[in-house]
Structure 1
Amino acid sequence: MFDAMMGMYSYDVDDEKYTVLHTVFTMVHIYIANIFLLNYLVAILSTVYEKMMEMGDFAFKCNKYWYIERYLIAFKDQWGYTQLIVHAPPINILLISLLTSIFKQDAMLRAANLYSLANFWVENLFFIFYQLLYELMLVPIIYLRMFYNVVKLGGYRSSHLILFWVFCGPFFLLYGASIDIYYYVKILCDYKLDDDLQVKMEEEDQKQDKIVIYNEIISVLKSVLFIFQQKQ
């Protein structure tokens, strides 16, 4: 039947009196075959999509559960050992500097805090330099644009404003760029939270993580039961 729908037969007509009838049947066949093959393709894609969605959802929940189970215990640590697992390669090669402090909790906490701050500022120095370079590139453009606006709006009657901007404009723009960088660095320095608020947030996060884990376990067990029933 499938071969027939694909047109895998001879189109030759031995008797000429059946030529018209053969042409009509061929046209009807082509019309019906296209509809059949299109529905067949839709059915295949729908079946594959349903199976992949089911398997993908189950795999996602399993991987998420394994991730939470692996890292949740580490994030509960209060002595800085979390730093040993949260950094991705190749930055984690620098964790060698913490090996001398892993045997004492107090020393590990201090070393981990210093390493965390150092890593934070090393990463952000690039963004500070990029922001400064970007604003310095804009200084001549803004300077010329403001000069054009002063001349256009005030004309030669505002010669005192033109002279003021010619001599003081670059310093004013550089001052504005330095103020932007100052506040940018100030925002980056604001990484400390209030102790009580931090403890409260950590407790709330732990409660939410437990709820998420329990819900994920229930979902995984339901998925396993559903797959087991389907295989039977």
Structure 2
Amino acid sequence: SIPILGFCYKKNLMVKVSLYYSHVIFWVENVVIILMFYIYELSLVPQIYIKTFVKLTGVNSASQFFRLTLYWVAFGLPMLLFTCLQDSMNLVKLLKTNT
């Protein structure tokens, strides 16, 4: 709040500067939250990948097991990483509606 004290002599200028200052502080605080959220989701990726792989062992048919396993090995990790990125972008969109 100290940087905006110099603009107190004009009300219109003070309102504009304080609004800009509040937006900057809002996003500085939320960048930390977004990064923590993304790191948390990335930490869950190995657990989800392995758990899904273990669940595939419960498939009855051998041909279906091999087909699903090949699909999961090829596309599982990119799908999980894309989902993490998409969740983080949804958080950013949610925060943008708040400003």
Fold-level similarity (TM above 0.5): yes
Structure 2 residue runs without a partner (length 5+):
none
Partner of 1:168: 75
Aligned residue among 11, 14, 17 for 1:105: 11
Aligned equivalents of 2:91 and 2:77: distance in 1?
21
Distance 1:154 1:143, change over 3 A: farther
Question: Are positions 1:118 and 2:34 aligned together?
Answer: no
CA-atom RMSD in angstroms: 1.3
Q: Equivalences for 1:35-46 in 2 at 5 Å? A: none
Q: Say which SS state the counterpart of residue 152 (structure 1) adopts.
A: coil
Percent identity between the two aligned chains = 33
Distance 1:181 1:125, change over 3 A: same
Which AA in structure 1 matches 2:39?
L
Structure exhibiting the larger radius of gyration computed from Cα positions: 1
Q: Say which SS state the counterpart of residue 153 (structure 1) adopts.
A: coil
Aligned equivalents of 2:20 and 2:89: distance in 1?
23
Aligned equivalents of 1:131 and 1:154: distance in 2?
37
Q: Say which SS state the counterpart of residue 103 (structure 1) adopts.
A: coil
Partner of 1:138: 44
Q: Say which SS state the counterpart of residue 90 (structure 2) adopts.
A: helix
Aligned pairs, number = 98
Aligned residue among 89, 92, 99 for 1:185: 92
Aligned equivalents of 2:39 and 2:61: distance in 1?
33
Distance 1:162 1:154, change over 3 A: farther
1:156 CA displacement: 3.2
